[in-house]
Amino acid sequence: MGTIEGAVNIPLQQIRGRLGEFRKDQTIVLFCGVGLRAYMAERILRQNGFENVFNLSGGYKTWEYAVQKQSNEDIFEKSIIGKDDQIYSTDIEAGRKEREVAHARIDVKTLEVNAAGLQCPGPILELKKAINQVAQGDRVLETASDPGFAQDVKAWCEMTGNNLINLQQEKGQITALIEKGVPAGSASGPAAQGSQGASGLPPSALNTSLIMFSQDFDRALATLVIANGAASAGKKATVFFTFWGLNLIRKNPKPRVSKDFMGRMFDMMLPAHSGKLKLSKLNMGGMGVKMMRGRMKKLRIDSLEQMLKTAMDNGVRMVACTMSMDVMGVKKEELIDGVEVGGVATYLQAADQASNTLFI
């Protein structure tokens, strides 16, 4: 069969009679054809006080294949390993180009973001903030525990023109490596293909508009999640608050304003601010909302009020319907700062420039 150069060959059945040829202060590596007889020899030596004894995994047959000349060895004939552990060619010109590529790769900076524990849309919002902090070509390494993040980050990268380099899921943790690319809608981004973008729509149509008609807590929550998601993808989002939806954007505490009789009647019947909104289902006299808010806090989901602030900070346009304000006796002074007031033409302009409109 063969043997390893420099080895001392002793048959298994002779081991016990030749123990004097072994030294206990040396490392002993035993081998046979595939490892079975070597294992038995190892047991004999250990029973006789030898401790530093090892069995060559796979035996001689595995070793023989491991040391054979490889079919691709010659392609590395003129290569060396540099101090930075990169492989370089000894050819001067080729080596110079390889070093330039390697140095360019080394210069890439990576910003690490830990979004573990945050629920949608938290991880995507954190990713948007991180991408804004790095230069084009640099990377963001984000870790999240939200199960939906694996799909969301793929969609987000496609919408924004950034590159998803790697995505891994292990033990409930999702890790994504994103390289900052050319922003969608820029002169050379995915949305700049002549006068149309990757979706076939002009850049001005890659926006989102929402109509907030309801005063239900859960529907308001859905509206703000979508609006924040659109903003994180670089879209211009407009939320048009009409009728009962106006109660989401009223100030807390409520300011004192002069109203007519019908305005005061509406005040008595409507929620004073977002903290008074009810669930559309399972409200249970207000217990449902308390349970929902408590659950959101436990899962580290932003409160409704924090989502509203985040949306406005991210540039989401908030417009209050003037006709609804007049009918319901709502004054501009009662609305939170940063909310515009506008009529149907204002909304239609935003909708005309949007690729989709959602009525909630």
Catalytic residues: 120
Residue with tokens 């669930």: 279
CA distance 251 to 273: 6
Quick one: which of 40, 75, 73, 71 has its CA closest to 55? 40
Are 132 and 160 contacting, i.e. CB atoms less than 8 angstroms apart? Answer: no
**Region class of 300: left (phi > 0), else alpha (psi between -120 and 50), else beta:** left
271, 282, 293 from 279: Cα distances, Å: 12, 7, 11
Give 36-39 contacts, CB < 8 A, sequence gap 24+. Answer: 37/12
Q: Give how far the C-alpha of residue 276 lies from the chain's centroid of Cα atoms, to the nearest Å.
A: 33
70 burial (CB, 10 Å; 0-12 / 13-18 / 19+) is: exposed
Which letter, b or e, does each residue of 298-329 get, where b requires 16 or more Cβ atoms within 10 Å of its Cβ?
eeebbebeebbebbbebebbbbbbbebbeebb
